Amino acid sequence: MKKTIIGLAAALALAAGAIPAIAKEWTKVRIATEGAYAPFNYVTPDGELAGFDVDIAKALCEEMQVECTLVKQDWDGMIPALMAKKFDAIVASMSITEERKQRVDFTDKYYQTPARFVAKKGAGIEISEAGLTGKKIGVQRETIHDKFATDNFGNVATIVRYGTQDEANLDLVAGRVDVIVADSVALSEGFLKTDHGADFEFTGPDFTDPRWFGMGAGIAIRKDDKDLTEKFNAAIAAIRASGKYDEIARKYFDFNVYGS
């Protein structure tokens, strides 16, 4: 068994060596987003990907003068698919965290918003260890909000983990969970301002502790593609300077989404 693996590795190394290393010219970039995290990324009724992430991605591509294709990818398989070269970059409101940095590189942040809890209007749930004791907290699984809720309230409350934020929102409406915690903007635009969320409101303070919430959302790129990361960083700085960023941000938000 071991021998075959060594043999295979040797064969692969040979094959890789046989192809001369050419610095890749980026003319085409495939970008993945989730499409279930309004208003950052969602699917319009006619099946198109749209949202803040998508507009930013398109603006960055224009800035970098590359041809971009957008693909929809479920959150769970996002980083494995990036590493499997199914696409070259993730623009999906992915927070920059230490765990993720071990697998992929991130560009500088392109926005940063606090996390907040949402509960039914007048539910009177205090966001504290005492207030959440015995309650059910809905989160999207393996997100920074999942980790935050698990680390802080996991011993007193039940953490219910969903595949998408939409499902967590649905179950808050259905009453299967008492509160949900997620990005404040995703909750406000994607849930509270919709018909579904009419009976619900923010409760408790803003949470921004970098221990859980990292350094904001960045674009994830394979570690091998340092040149692409640099291209994206330059493009982010350029659209921030040219006013293109603010133009897009104004379309979606009435506050400073870039953070400080």
- Is residue 96 a contact point for another protein (CB under 8 A)? no
Separation CA 189–CA 197 (nearest Å):
10
Q: Which of 50, 170, 192, 215 binds another protein (CB under 8 A)?
A: 170
- Is residue 103 a contact point for another protein (CB under 8 A)? yes
Closer of 163 and 259 to another protein (Cβ): 163
Both tokens assigned to 146: 């999942």
Cβ neighbours of residue 152 closer than 8 Å, sequence gap 6 or more: 129
- Is residue 201 a contact point for another protein (CB under 8 A)? no
- Is residue 1 a contact point for another protein (CB under 8 A)? no
Distances (CA, A) of 152 to 64, 142, 147, 249: 41, 15, 8, 32
- Is residue 79 a contact point for another protein (CB under 8 A)? yes
Burial class of residue 25 (count of CB atoms within 10 Å of its CB; 0-12, 13-18, 19+): exposed
Q: Which of 43, 125, 156, 173 binds another protein (CB under 8 A)?
A: 173
Stretch that binds another protein, among 21-29, 63-71, 157-165, 234-242 (CB under 8 A): 157-165
Q: Which of 28, 85, 121, 176 binds another protein (CB under 8 A)?
A: 176
In the window 114-133, what residues touch another protein (CB under 8 A)? none
Separation CA 69–CA 251 (nearest Å):
22
Count CB neighbours of 209 within 10 A. 11
Which stretches of the chain bind another protein, using CB under 8 A?
Answer: 75-77, 79-80, 83, 99, 103, 141-142, 160-163, 167, 170-171, 173-176
